[in-house]
Structures are given as C-alpha cells and as structure tokens.
Amino acid sequence: MKKMMLALAVGWLVAGIPAMAATRHLDLAPGSITGITVLQRSSSVLEVACDVSALELAEVDLDGRTWYKPGITDGAETLQAGMPDLPSLSVAFMAGGAGVLSMTILEEQSQVFENTPVIPSRGNITRNIDPSSVPYTFGESYQRSTVWPEQMLALSSPYTFRDFQGQTLHIQPFRYDAAAQRLEVVTHLRIRLELDSTHSGPMPGSAIDQDFMAIYERRFANAGNLRYNYLPAIGSMIVVCPDEWLQTIAPFVEWKLRSGRPTSVVPLSETGSTPEAIRAWLMDHYGTDPFAYVVLVGDQAQLPSIIAVGGASDVNYGFLSGSDTYPEAIVGRFSAETNEQLQTMVSRTIQYEEAPEAGASWYRRAIGVASAEGTGDDDEYDWEHMDNIRSTLLAGDHQEVLRVYDPEGGTTSGLLDELNQGASLVNYAGHGTYSRWQSPLAGGDLAPGFTVTRVNQLVNTRQWPVVVSVACDNGKFMENTCFAETWLRASNNGTPTGAVAMYAATQLVGWSPPMELQDEFNHLIGNSTTRSFGALCINGALSMSEVYAWSGPSEMQRFVIFGDPSVKVRTTEPRTLTVEHESTYTPQHGAYTVLVPGEPGALAALSINGELAATGITDQDGRVILPLPATGSPVDLMLVVSADNAMPYEATIPQNRPPVLQVPIGARMAQEDTPVLLEDLGSGFTDADGDSIVIFSAQAAATGFGFQFSGQQLQ
C-alpha cells in the first residue's frame, strides 16, 4: 500500500481565523473532487477512489471554548450521540451471494491537523426539537486515548433487492484522537474489493421492470447500463381492496390495464384482513408473480398498516425477500374511509394520467416551503436546503420555483393562492403535526401554519401537484384524518382538488436523514432520470438509508406513499405523440407493429374490452412489436401509447375482415384455394325466394371439397 501523510502546523490551521468567522474553508487537494469514483468494475472486482479535496471547519462555541465541526461535500454525519461529529461517504454495489470476499487499501494519503478539538454529535434529533436546545454530551471516545473511528472502512451485510443482491461500503475519511486533539483527514484512498461473482440475478436477456431498472442503475455503482443485458418491462400491480369497494376501484384497475400495466385486484376476503395475513398473501403471490407495485385501498380501519419502528409502515408490505429493508415491491395507499373519498382519488389519478391539460404552463411551476430552522443534512438550514433544491429544479424542466420561506415572510394565504394557480411539485421542510405544516408562520387570516383547513380551501381543479414533506407526523393516518390524507381526499363541489400523491411520515422524523431523501428525489426530477412517483420516493429513501446507515433504515420505514405509487410525475406541458400503425389488424399476422418516432421507452398496449391483451416498450428507434391475441369472433382492439410528459395516444383498431360470402340453401361451392369467411349472423334471414337461411361463421380454403348448407345446419 502506498501511504503518504502531511502534518500541518497548528497556527496555520486555526490562527488568524477572524473572530466573526463561523467557518474556515481549506483546500486539501486542489484539482480533485470530493467524493467516490469508480475506477474498475466487473462481476468480480470493484475498485474505487475516495477523495476529500476540500474541508469546511465550522466553529462551535461551547462554554467559551472553540470546537470544530468538519464538513465535506455530500458527506453525511454518523449521528451517533456523544461520538465525534465526523462526515462519511458511502457507495452501494451489486455482489453475489457472499458479497465482498476481500477488501484492500491500495493507496492512502492524509493530512493531520493538530490542536483541533472536534465537537461530538448530538445524535439523530427529531424535527419536533430545536437542535440548538440539545446539550452536547461527550461519549466514551473522549475519555480514552484512542482514535475514532477504529475502522475507516465498514461493510453492510449483503442484502437482496428484488432482482439483485447488493452491499454498501461506508468510508470514514477522518480519524480523531480526542486526547491529543488531533484530526487526521484521509484525502485520498484507492480501494479494491474482490466480489463473489456467483450469478444471483436474472439471466441476461430476461426482462426487468423498467422502474426498478432505473433504481438499480442509480443506486449500484457497478450496475452500468442494464439495458445492454436486460429487457425493460412493465411490472405488474396488485390492488388489495375491501370487498365493498371493488366496484369503486374498478375504473382505476381498468385504466391501468388499458394503459399497459398488468393489474389484478384481490379482495380482503381472499387475503385476510390482518397485516400478518395480507403480508403472507403478498409474499406467497410474489413467488409466482413478482409484481412491482402494491396499492392498498382504505384507511387503517379498512386495511391496517404494518406496525414497525414505532408506527404505521406500509413499506414493510414491500419487504418480500430476506430480512433487509430493501423493497421488492413499491407500496402506495388510497387512504379512504368512504366510497366518495375513494372515487375522488380514483378520478384524480386517471385524469392526471389520461387527460392532462394541453398546453398548461403550470406543469413547469414548483413550490418550496421551508422554515428558518436547522441545521440538518449538509449543515443546511431548511430554507438553504430548499434553495439548493430550487437550483436543481431550475436546471431541469421547471421554469419557476416559488420560495415560500419563513425568513422571507411567506404566508399561508400566499401559499394557498400559489397552489390554486397550479404547480406540479411541492416540497416542504420544517416542523409538522398530523394536521399541518408549521410553516409558513405568517398566516394571513389564519395562523400558524398551513393546516388541513387550508388544504380543504383549495380550488386547484386539474392542477394537482405531487408533494414531498420533510416533517413529523404529516402522514400519521392511524388515529386521525392526517394532513397527507386531506390532500388526497380534497375536493370542491365534488371535483377533485388537492394533490395526486404525497410522501409523508407517520411518526417523528430526524432533522438530517429526510433532507437527504428529499435531495435525491429532486435530483432525479431535475435530471429526468425516472418519473414514477414511487420509484422517486424509494430512490430517495434508499439514498437516505445508505448515506445515514446509523438511522436511515429506520427513517425509511416511517414514510408512506399516499396515492398511486406508479403514477408518472409530470413536469412539462403535455406534448403530442406521433404514433404510426396500421388502421386495422389481421389476427393471422400474429403481431402488430407500433412506431413512435423519437420516443424510446414509450409504453404501447393493446386491450380488448378493458382487458390487457399485449404490452411492450419501444426500442431505441421508437418501435415495438406487440403479439396479437387470439380473438375468436371479430373484435376491436384499443391501442394506448404513453410516454413521459406526453398526452396519451388512444385509438380503436378494428379487425381486418375478408369479404363475407352469404350462401343460399342448397348452394354448393368448390372453388380451388378460395378463402371464404362465413359469418354467424343468426337465424331469421331469407333468400331471394323467401326461404329461411342461417349464416354460419367459418373460414377455409376450398380445395376440391364443397360446403353444403341447409336451413339449420352446416353439413
């Protein structure tokens, strides 16, 4: 191993820092970038570099003494109360069943800072507590002459994530000796991991749900472009519904089928009504039909949630393999107590997907709501966090991202007005309860905060956002009608208002980890990586789990997706698709070609009377070949083509029918090689002589034999 160390004088580090300065920026390795870089990847080897190019030392005054809190770009606090508050970096990767077989540090360079007392972490403080009110405690590492952490590299246990197995490497590029007040910063590491290359995923050439494929490519450093080895497919959906609402949920199921997602509804009378019975049914069914999405229908009284980490946790219904917290299916909930509430959610979801507003500019508007408190992830106050998200969104599809921040005098009445003008996305970071956002603090005619009363005043008909809330208890649906439920149930004179979907916590949550979740969600929105609301939420939750390994997995289980998890988030005016196809179909051809020029990844589906007959995803040329179903009697097909931020294309495709030959009684035909279609038109017909005839359905090529027709039967 190549190892270099540079010791820096105390005076260079801390002397000369102005009394008013809160943070000192130090360039450690000019020209490099802080973070983890993949140098080599294969099924058996992963080699990465970890670099710390710059360091932020924030001053903390404690009883008249200056302490320091180190920070780096994208570094996450360990959140272990009483231990030195040092940032870490993480990287997840695919590996076979045994995971990492060996790990070797090939290169290491570091710099040492003397006389640099590091402040301890306050731990994972929940958002109902002001972080500044929590006293510092000095744990065991401050009482001994030892370096913390003892290990710079740590591996998670191998886990199963639907199609693949993975593992996460946590790198702590800092070592602190409290007795000597010495901080060592590892500025460069090169690490080689030998992986178990035993194949444990799908065979190359097989199909993988396209939403999970996007998650794998984002989460796993060695995934590469999975589309080179696997076929993107549309994963199926299971809808678990109380028996009395099967008819109400039917239009949602029919639309999902017609638009191309295999969907089946199962009544509670079949699954059982307890969380244990429902989860057992899902696990058993997943073994034969590895569905990608689950929609739970009903409030807690109608369809109970699983209780985990102290509260309701629907995501646990998606943990279908192993004992880890990586979901095999993405779970959402239509939390309704009445038939009318469920109708509102179903109608809103279908309209959002099938009938978006043509030319509407509000799809490019977003709203950020934030408190003045903190700090949390990346040492940001809530409003700073929201401003960084704003920059991310403005670099993507969004043209306007409104700032409703407490430090800038945002009001609840102003927020209500902006929501009524339409916005495709709303982000919140601040305090919350089961019935409100605590911010904006200025209320206009109502104060404080944006409450369920305000949500019910919305008149944003057809201008529904998706909402991501970093706050405590907004999704606490088990006992009362919560804030998130109100957004999904909202209507005005019977017309849906509110939001199409919302991601919110059922319990108290920490300051820092959920901010990472929200950062990742918006990064993916801003970079157009994936559009499924559920996939965006799970990507964010897994990023939180990986970055904040100490608390992230528990935090993930506290968040619930309210609404359809498969709904595609819209961020631009719906564009019109150009779709080329034959105006009729011929069953004997066996296939039907659809071309959507310039639209790789579009979804095309054929259905018959609301039942899905064939579905497929267009290739790089925008082409997909759909197998034609055996229809028996002539029947029309419905073609639906959809793509991100596009108006769905819908067309009726009639069957191409050969000429009909009507044969009078007693007539014979014996034409050689003549295709003949005889349709069963029923009885009650007469020929020119007034004789009764029956026309039967058949198709044949007459090859020297004849057809003899009588009045009632075919001989």
Residues 583 and 478 in one domain: no
415/427 Cα distance (integer angstroms): 12
Helix (H, G, I), strand (E, B), or coil: what is residue 227? helix
Find the range with the poorest average confidence among 19-33, 578-592, 700-714. 700-714
Residues 463 and 318 in one domain: yes
Instruction: Give domain status of residue 7, yes or no.
Output: yes
What confidence tens digit (pLDDT) does each residue in 465-505 have? 999 999 999 999 999 999 999 999 999 999 999 999 999 99
Position 574 pLDDT exceeds 50: yes
CA angle, 593 then 597 then 601, to 5°: 80
Last residue of a domain, one of 562, 587, 613: 562
Residues 246 and 322 in one domain: yes
Position 454 pLDDT exceeds 90: yes
Strand ranges, E, within 309-358: 311-312, 330-334
Q: If 0-12 CB within 10 Å is exposed, 13-18 middle and 19+ buried, where does residue 681 land?
A: middle
Residues 621 and 496 in one domain: no
End-to-end CA distance of the chain: 90
Residue 87: predicted pLDDT: 96
What confidence tens digit (pLDDT) does each residue in 67-109 have? 999 999 999 998 999 999 999 999 999 998 889 999 999 999 9
Residue 686: predicted pLDDT: 46
Residue 685: predicted pLDDT: 46
Strand ranges, E, within 29-181: 35-41, 45-51, 54-62, 65-71, 76-77, 87-94, 100-113, 147-148, 153-155, 159-161, 164-171, 174-177
Burial 14-50, CB ≥16 within 10 A → b, else e: beeeeeeeeebeeebbeebebbbeeeebeeeebbbbb
Instruction: Give domain status of residue 211, yes or no.
Output: no
160/137 Cα distance (integer angstroms): 37
Residue 20: predicted pLDDT: 32
Residue 228: predicted pLDDT: 86
Last residue of a domain, one of 535, 562, 589: 562
User: Which helix (H) or strand (E) is 412 found in, with range?
Assistant: helix 412-420
174/324 Cα distance (integer angstroms): 28
Highest mean pLDDT (candidates 286-295, 441-450, 668-677) = 286-295
More confident residue, 707 or 603: 603
Instruction: Give domain status of residue 206, yes or no.
Output: no
Residue 683: predicted pLDDT: 46
Block residue for tokens 């002459």: 145
Position 255 pLDDT exceeds 60: yes
Instruction: Give domain status of residue 44, yes or no.
Output: yes
Residue 630: predicted pLDDT: 84
Q: What is the average per-residue pLDDT within 120-145?
A: 93
User: Which helix (H) or strand (E) is 607 found in, with range?
Assistant: strand 603-608
Instruction: Give domain status of residue 230, yes or no.
Output: no
Instruction: List 650's β-bridge partners, or say none.
Output: 640
Residues 64 and 131 in one domain: yes
Position 406 pLDDT exceeds 90: yes
Position 256 pLDDT exceeds 50: yes
Residues 662 and 610 in one domain: no
Position 687 pLDDT exceeds 80: no
Find the range with the poorest average confidence among 41-50, 250-259, 699-708. 699-708
Q: What is the average per-residue pLDDT within 523-542?
A: 94
CATH label of the domain that carries residue 587: 2.60.40.10
228/389 Cα distance (integer angstroms): 32
Q: For the chain, how many structural domains are there in total?
A: 4
Highest mean pLDDT (candidates 440-444, 648-652, 658-662, 669-673) = 648-652
CATH label of the domain that carries residue 102: 2.60.40.3800
Q: What is the average per-residue pLDDT within 633-649?
A: 96
Instruction: Give domain status of residue 208, yes or no.
Output: no
What confidence tens digit (pLDDT) does each residue in 204-234 have? 889 999 999 999 999 999 998 898 889 999 9
Mean pLDDT score of the chain: 90
Residues 336 and 453 in one domain: yes
Instruction: Give domain status of residue 224, yes or no.
Output: no
What confidence tens digit (pLDDT) does each residue in 94-104 have? 998 889 999 99
Count CB atoms within 10 A of the CB of residue 617. Answer: 17
CATH label of the domain that carries residue 471: 3.40.50.1460
Decide if 324 contacts 157 (C-beta within 8 A).
yes
Residues 453 and 597 in one domain: no
CA angle, 463 then 465 then 466, to 5°: 155
Block residue for tokens 């160390």: 5
In this prediction the pTM is 0.89
Residues 402 and 441 in one domain: yes
Residue 662: predicted pLDDT: 54
Residues 91 and 33 in one domain: yes
Last residue of a domain, one of 653, 673, 705: 653
Instruction: Give domain status of residue 229, yes or no.
Output: no
Answer whether the bond into residue 600 is a cis peptide, omega within 30°. no
Residue 441: predicted pLDDT: 86
What confidence tens digit (pLDDT) does each residue in 338-380 have? 999 999 999 999 999 999 999 999 999 999 999 999 999 999 9
Residue 115: predicted pLDDT: 96
Decide if 498 contacts 489 (C-beta within 8 A).
yes
Residue 529: predicted pLDDT: 75
Domain that holds residue 710: 658-715
40/91 Cα distance (integer angstroms): 14
φ, ψ of residue 260 in degrees (nearest 5): 120, 0
Residues 264 and 301 in one domain: yes
Residues 184 and 255 in one domain: no
